[in-house]
Amino acid sequence: MKTYEDLEGDGGSDIVGQVVQLGAKLRSRLDKVKYKVALMSGKGGVGKSSITANIASCLADRGNKVGILDADLNGPSIGHLLGVGNDIQLEMKGDGLEPGIGHQGIRIMSMDMLVKTADTPVMWTEEADATAVWVSTMESTAIRELLADTNWGELDYLLIDMPPGSDRIDNIRSLIPELAGVVEITIPSPLSQHIVTKSITKNNKMGVPIIGLIENMATYVCPHCDKEGKLFDGEDVHKLSERKDIPYIGKIPFDTRVSRSQSGNLFYKEFKDSVTGKAIAEAVDNIEKFTTK
């Protein structure tokens, strides 16, 4: 039996050709997107996906064509937030897969749309001892294919909903070197601020443009009287942005209606005139100013 080392060349697999072809397909998709923006937090549980969905809603409400890549492969939620379940019948068209169409025509691609049931976990192997490096490689390959194989079409904005942790930005930056920038998201708690500083530091060292810092759940706002109250203890997030020398682009109060859909719309579309809706719009103002300058 011959081993791989015994084969001449690549054994007829044309690996180099396949890589070049995939790279060309990826570029052809992304060249049709004006601005690619990643939203990340470093820490889970700060409402990043909800913020991503409602920023997309605001952008779409302003007439932009918007898409979202759910890069959180192991904990995808964008499909659920935008009303696209795993029961969707994905359609192949030409050399790509048609994205799911969520609220307000927002185009999405998420691992949630590719699993059999809502509670099916993403498992890269049946082996329990898979190495972290191997799993990371599989995740990077999966994101590349989701980007390259999806017919995104002409978009003004492609938002990338990042998984928790600062290490995944390496993959996104290698796939999208023209990334317009990242939005860092934190809540006022000391632990969240501590972790997001690591993400900010890494992006600065990598030369990744930082659009700014959004403070989610900055206060609690009563949906009936619009009065605000303190929700978390912690140092003023403005001080963090000043210390790290990045713009503070949004202070978004917590509104219980964010997690409840009364008409099938995203929160922003339904409650854009609320305190929280206006805060989301202000954050989007700052994102648009950064990307279009």
The whole-number pLDDT of residue 23 equals 66
CATH number of the domain where residue 237 is located: 3.40.50.300
% the chain with pLDDT above 90: 50
pLDDT digits (tens, 9 = 90+) for 243-269: 999 999 999 999 988 876 555 689 999
The whole-number pLDDT of residue 134 equals 42
The whole-number pLDDT of residue 222 equals 79
Assess if residue 14 is contained within a domain. no
The whole-number pLDDT of residue 125 equals 57
Q: pLDDT higher for 125 or 38?
A: 38
Handedness of CA 41, 44, 50, 52 (dihedral sign): positive
Q: In whole angstroms, what is the distance from residue 104 CA to residue 56 CA?
A: 9
Q: pLDDT higher for 122 or 17?
A: 122
pLDDT at 13 over 50: no
Assess if residue 20 is contained within a domain. no
User: Tokens 């048609």, residue?
Assistant: 98
**What tokens does 113 get?**
């749309």
Size (the chain), residues: 293
**What tokens does 258 get?**
């964010």
pLDDT at 219 over 90: no
Assess if residue 8 is contained within a domain. no
% the chain with pLDDT above 70: 82
CB 286 within 8 A of CB 249: yes
pLDDT at 43 over 70: yes
pLDDT digits (tens, 9 = 90+) for 140-154: 788 888 999 999 999
pLDDT at 3 over 80: no
**Of 293, 286, 250, 283, which Cα lies nearest the Cα of 55?**
283
pLDDT at 241 over 90: yes
Mean pLDDT along residues 59-73: 96
CB 78 within 8 A of CB 100: no
Assess if residue 207 is contained within a domain. yes
Assess if residue 114 is contained within a domain. yes
The whole-number pLDDT of residue 129 equals 56
Assess if residue 11 is contained within a domain. no
pLDDT at 32 over 70: yes
Q: How many domains does the chain have?
A: 1
The whole-number pLDDT of residue 115 equals 75
Mean pLDDT along residues 226-249: 86
Mean pLDDT along residues 107-120: 80
User: Tokens 């490096």, residue?
Assistant: 133
CB 236 within 8 A of CB 75: no
What's the chain's average pLDDT? 84
Provide the domain limits for residue 232: 26-292
pLDDT at 158 over 70: yes
Assess if residue 123 is contained within a domain. yes
pLDDT digits (tens, 9 = 90+) for 165-213: 767 788 888 899 999 999 999 999 889 999 999 999 999 999 999 999 9
Assess if residue 10 is contained within a domain. no
Q: In whole angstroms, what is the distance from residue 182 CA to residue 202 CA?
A: 12
Q: pLDDT higher for 236 or 283?
A: 283
DSSP state of 118: T
pLDDT at 119 over 80: no
